[in-house]
Amino acid sequence: MRPFVYRALLWLLLPGLAFPALATHQVGGQIEMRAIGDVPGHFQITVTNYLEDNNRAAMTTGGQIGIFRKRDNARMLVFDVYETAQRQRVVFTNESCATSKNQRVVVATFGAEIQLNPTVYNDAGGYYMSFQTQNRNDGINNINNPVQTGFTFYLEFPALQKNGQLFTNSSPRFSTINGEYLCINEAFTFPFGGSDPDGDELRYSMVTPLNKNGTGRNQEVSAGPYPDVQWLGGFEANNAIPGSPTLTVDARSGQLSVTPNQLGLFVFAVKVEEYRDGLKIGEVRRDFQFLVIDCPPVTTPNPTVWATNQPTGTEFTICKGKSLELQTTVNPDWNYQWRRDGLNLAEATGTKLVVNEPGTYSVFVSIKTQCGKASGSQNVKINVIDLTSAINTTGQLCAKDGSVSLSVLEGTGLVYQWYQDEKLLAAPATGPVITTSQPGQFRAVLTQPQYGCSYRTETVSLTRAAPVQAAIRSAQTRLCPGGSLSLEGVGGVNFAWQRDGQAVATVTDPVFSVQTAGRYVVEVTALNGCKATSTPFVVEQIPGVQVTMEAVPSVCGTNGPVYALTGTPAGGTFAGPGVSGARYDSKAAGIGNHVLTYSVNFAPECPAAVAQQTAIVAPIPTILLPEEVITSSGKSLTLTPEMTGDPVVFRWSPPTYLADTTEANARVVDITDDIVYTLKVENATGCKAEGSVVVTVYERIWVPGAFTPNADGQNDVWELKGVEAFPEVEVTVFNRWGEVIYKSVDGYSHPFDGTLKGEPVPPGAYVYTIRYEPKRPLLRGTLVILR
């Protein structure tokens, strides 16, 4: 009859752990992203890689990681990771079992520091990084073609800047892994959750492991999405290991649970998602695989652990720097493996263990000659009293005053002794904090009487600071009327000003611009907190003077007299256009409004006191009018003179036919008779001028019957007297055949000169028509050209 046999599950991280003949060097790993904290965007990237301890593992030296934008898979960065720590062996509870199954596993750590620009990594969709490699083990029983299936370590992280503000985050962290195995059909749980350094919520779920992109054998960098591995029939993410129950993960704690009921090597993956304020911000994936094997039934009893010379008790306390020896039942047929806080300790495989670190300790034993389930002892808790403390100081001993508080570790039941210059201080210097106003050498001794623990701190030296030198500096001590004086406080970093014994609360800067005479002091505070007050700085007010200057008469034109200038008090200086000494010459000044000044220097520190007057040299107005203006009876017209000298007063006379006699441009209305108009003007200074114009009124045009266009300078054109009074006149001349040889189109501004197209017309009689205005009848007659 076949003996009753338990079936055990030996689990390890990630793909690559399989039966020896088919094993590859890769076992597993994950990526972590830690914010260093000194500069925004500065990160430590760590790849933890579990490898079979063989020649292929020794050849693994790192690889490349790619960072991509989730929104469009755009490549952002590719960087190399290199080995950063000494490789550590994964410790199995039953080394005999691990040896028999050829399970020798090491942990290699690869890393790099990268600097990402938050203004570049600001996409709301976030980013991901990946580390791709291969291959998985040929002996895996739940995926298709495992030896040609790779895997992708995958991590998502959020934008480094959101809404213009920096967003800080680190990925979850995971603890060290034990090499474990468990019996089939027996419930198995393992605390596989991580921790988040930012306090974010972590949610766990089973997912399908990721394959790598491409088919090459070398480690590659490529953007996602990454393909899933191909499950064999009956397997999927939530049934990666058949059992009752199948392999599951607790959504909140990350604890794995399984009771397997099928032999084989099974791959699965766990996704860890980060949530902050209810929103997902990141994700990490880790692959795992379990190996289900046959193992004999348990034949070892549960061992007992006790402290040497203390056979009873499950909790012990030691002082830091001391140690305690734990021991267990001795049996030469047993393997021993000690644990602290659930993790197997390296090289801790004897019946005794010397401990000096706090934690919960236990030992597991198994039969040396069998790959069976190990039996565990009870837990023993070790507490370590650590009184290590540095003296922290706050405050400052100044040159003449000040105090310093010294403090050390505070704890219940501790006894404190303080020493100054190696002399024990009496009460009240018996607590964790003391205050002193004296310099010296200080140290403390902390004692825990119950367990006899004691710690002596390093010595702290307190000395008085050098005196603060407060002073006020200024380029002068006297204040000009209406002026200001800059006082500069020196000797510190903070400043409090006073004037005549009263605080000036509004001024805390080192420079004080004063506008009032008085007695000023400044209290300065140095960087170390010590203070000092300056000696008084006296600011005197300089009396002002009242300066006056007599006005200078305005003149018309530059032929005015030379004026004597007068100002008070005596002894000042006159300046301005046309000024020479104390005299003003309008001719030298020229036309214009000239500012003349009288300056009196009354103190060397102050600008001169100044009075001023404006001397006006006004231009004499001029009027330009035509000698004669011709119009017709009943017409209206405007007389527009050209003027200089800035006139402001206008007087036209006589008022006959004028709409307004005070306008610059006179409007003549319905004129019927000849008249002479006179315009008188005056500017603001009183300078005057006048001009006249003759307005001639014609009732009709005088038409001569002949003219002689022979270029002798007399009667060379047909001159029509009074035609200027009729600006709309039309004049036409015809030859004897009725052809038009001349026609005016713009009044009669270009008189008929006896030519047609530049050629003289023959002498003789010609017919003409004249229309004075469009509505008046034509005037007809005969014109004779004589040559």
Question: Which amino acid, residue 597?
Answer: T
Report CA torsion sign: 172, 187, 294, 363: positive
pLDDT exceeds cutoff 80 at 528: yes
Q: What is the pLDDT of residues 314-370, one digit of tens each?
A: 999 999 999 999 999 999 989 999 999 888 888 899 999 999 999 999 999 988 877
pLDDT exceeds cutoff 70 at 229: yes
Q: What is the pLDDT of residue 5?
A: 31
Report CA torsion sign: 384, 387, 388, 393: positive
Q: Is 760 left (phi over 0), alpha (psi -120 to 50) or beta?
A: beta
Half-sphere exposure in the Cβ direction for 548 (13 Å, CA): 3
Structure tokens at 508: 């805390």
Distance CA 497, CA 510 (A): 9
pLDDT exceeds cutoff 50 at 18: no
Q: What is the mean pLDDT of residues 386-409?
A: 96
pLDDT exceeds cutoff 90 at 134: no
Q: What is the pLDDT of residue 11?
A: 38
Distance CA 526, CA 524 (A): 6
Q: What is the pLDDT of residues 80-115, one digit of tens each?
A: 999 998 888 888 777 777 777 667 888 889 999 999
Nearest partner of 179 among 254, 102, 270, judged by Cα: 102
Contact 675, 653 (CB under 8 A): no
pLDDT exceeds cutoff 50 at 427: yes
Q: How far is CA 504 from CA 373, 477, 491, 619, in A?
A: 84, 19, 19, 58
Contact 443, 460 (CB under 8 A): yes
Sequence-separated (6 or more) residues with CB below 8 Å from residue 279: none
Question: Which amino acid, residue 445?
Answer: V
Q: Which residue has the higher pLDDT, 223 or 140?
A: 223
Q: What is the pLDDT of residue 16?
A: 35
Q: What is the pLDDT of residues 680-711, one digit of tens each?
A: 999 999 999 999 999 988 777 888 999 999 98
Q: What is the residue-averaged pLDDT of the chain?
A: 90
Q: Exposure of 531 by Cβ count < 10 A (0-12 exposed, 13-18 middle, 19+ buried)?
A: middle
DSSP string, 315-365: EEEEETT--EEEEE---TTEEEEEEETTEEPTT--SSEEEE-S-EEEEEEE
H or E element: which one contains 769?
A: strand 764-771
At residue 2 the predicted structure's pLDDT band, cuts being 50, 70 and 90, is very low
Exposed e or buried b per residue across 167-179, where buried means at least 16 C-beta atoms within 10 angstroms of its C-beta: bebbbbebeebbb
Q: What is the pLDDT of residues 185-226, one digit of tens each?
A: 888 888 888 999 999 999 999 999 999 997 666 668 999 999
**CA angle, 156 then 160 then 162, to 5°:** 115
Distance CA 98, CA 91 (A): 9
Q: Which residue has the higher pLDDT, 250 or 101?
A: 250
Distance CA 424, CA 415 (A): 13
Q: What is the pLDDT of residue 12?
A: 38
* pTM for this entry: 0.57
Q: How far is CA 251 from CA 195, 238, 278, 340, in A?
A: 14, 13, 15, 26
Residue with tokens 């200038």: 565
Nearest partner of 203 among 254, 167, 245, judged by Cα: 254
**Which range among 25-34, 294-303, 436-445 shows the weakest confidence by mean pLDDT?**
294-303
Q: How far is CA 288 from CA 16, 19, 247, in A?
A: 10, 16, 11
Residue with tokens 């399970």: 103
Distance CA 718, CA 702 (A): 11
Q: What is the pLDDT of residue 687?
A: 92
Structure tokens at 663: 């306008």
Nearest partner of 201 among 135, 273, 141, 261, judged by Cα: 273
Q: What is the pLDDT of residue 7?
A: 34
- Both ends of the chain: CA-CA distance in Å? 165
pLDDT exceeds cutoff 50 at 284: yes
Distance CA 652, CA 664 (A): 9
Distance CA 527, CA 491 (A): 10
**Which range among 228-232, 468-472, 781-785 shows the weakest confidence by mean pLDDT?**
781-785
pLDDT exceeds cutoff 80 at 13: no
Q: What is the pLDDT of residue 425?
A: 94
**Which range among 146-150, 238-242, 782-786 shows the weakest confidence by mean pLDDT?**
146-150
Question: Which amino acid, residue 138?
Answer: D
Q: What is the pLDDT of residue 60?
A: 78
Contact 470, 534 (CB under 8 A): yes
Per DSSP, 87 falls in state -
pLDDT exceeds cutoff 90 at 618: yes
